[in-house]
Structure 1
Amino acid sequence: MTTYPVDLSVKPEVTAFFDPATNTISYVVKDPTSSACAVVDSVMDLDYAAGRIAFEHADEIIKFITDKGLKLEWLIETHVHADHLSAAPYIQNKLGGKIGIGKNITVVQDTFGKVFNEGTEFQRDGSQFDWLFEDGDTYQIGSMPAFAMHTPGHTPACMTHVIGNAAFVGDTLFMPDSGSARADFPGGDAGMLYDSIQKVLALPDEMRLFMCHDYGPNGRDIRWETTVGDEKAHNIHVGGGKTRDEFVAMRTARDATLDMPKLIIPSLQINMKAGQLPPPDTSGRRFLKVPLDTL
Structure 2
Amino acid sequence: MFTRTSPSTGPGSPEVTGFYESATGSIMYVAACPETKQAALIDVVLDFDPEAARTRTDSAKEVLNFVRDKGLTVAWILDTHPHADHLMASSWLKAQTNAPNAIGAKVAEIAELWRDIYHLPDAFDVESDFDRLFVDGESFRFGNVDVRVMLSPGHTLGSITYVMGDAAFVHDTFMHVDVGTSRADFPGGSSKDLWNSLQAILALPDETRLFVGHDYPPVKNREDPAWEATVEEHRASNPHIAGKSEDEFRKLRDDRDATLALPDRMLHALQVNLRAGRLAPVEEDGHFYFKIPANKF
TM-score of the pair, normalised by structure 1: 0.94
Measured against aligned partners, the alpha-carbon deviations of 1:162-217 in whole angstroms (never above 9, x if no partner) come to 11111000101111221111111111010110000000000011000111101122
- The superposition leaves residues 237-273 of structure 1 with CA deviations (integer Å, 9 ceiling, x where unpaired) of 0123x11111111111111111001110111110111
Is 1:34 aligned with 2:31?
no
In 2, are the aligned partners of 1:9 and 1:165 still within 8 Å (CA)? no
Contact 1:8–1:164 at 8 Å: present in 2 too?
A: no
Which residue of the partner structure matches residue 231 of structure 1? 234
1:144 — aligned with what?
145
CA contact 2:153–2:194 (8 Å) conserved in 1: yes
Q: Distance in 2 between matches of 1:50 and 1:252?
A: 33
Q: How does 1:179-198 map to 2 (within 5 A)?
A: 179-198=180-199
Secondary structure (helix, strand or coil) at the match of 2:255 reads helix
CA distance in 2, matches of 1:213, 1:263: 15
For residues 90 and 275 of structure 2, what CA distance do their matches in structure 1 show? 11
Residue 87 of structure 2 aligns to a residue whose secondary structure is coil
- 3-state SS, counterpart of residue 185 of structure 1: coil
Q: Write the distance in 2 (CA, Å) between the matches of 1:206 and 1:10.
A: 14
Aligned amino acid, residue 159 of structure 2: C
Map of 2:72 onto structure 1: 70
TM-score, length-scaled by structure 2 = 0.93
Which structure 1 residue ranges, 5 or more long, are not aligned? 1-6
Q: Provide the C-alpha distance between the structure 1 equivalents of 2:161 and 2:132, rounded to a whole number of angstroms.
A: 15
SS in 2 for 1:229: helix
Mapping 1:158-169, distance limit 5 Å: 158-169=159-170
* Structure 1 residue 89: Cα displacement: 1.1
Provide the secondary structure at the position in 2 that maps to 1:110: helix
CA RMSD of aligned residues (A): 1.4
Distance between the aligned counterparts of 1:197 and 1:32, measured in 2? 29
Q: Does the Cα contact within 8 Å between 2:172 and 2:214 map onto a contact in 1? A: yes
Moved over 4 A (4+): none
Question: What's the offset of the Cα at 1:88?
Answer: 1.2
Amino acid at match of 1:270: V
Question: 1:188-267 counterparts in 2 under 5 A?
Answer: 188-216=189-217, 217-218=219-220, 220=222, 221-240=224-243, 242-267=244-269
Give me the whole-angstrom Cα distance separating, in 2, the residues matched to 1:42 and 1:284: 27
Q: 3-state DSSP class of the match of 1:167? A: strand
Structure 2 Cα separation of the partners of residues 245 and 275 of structure 1: 37
**1:127: Cα distance to partner?**
3.1
Give 5+ residue unaligned stretches, structure 2.
1-8
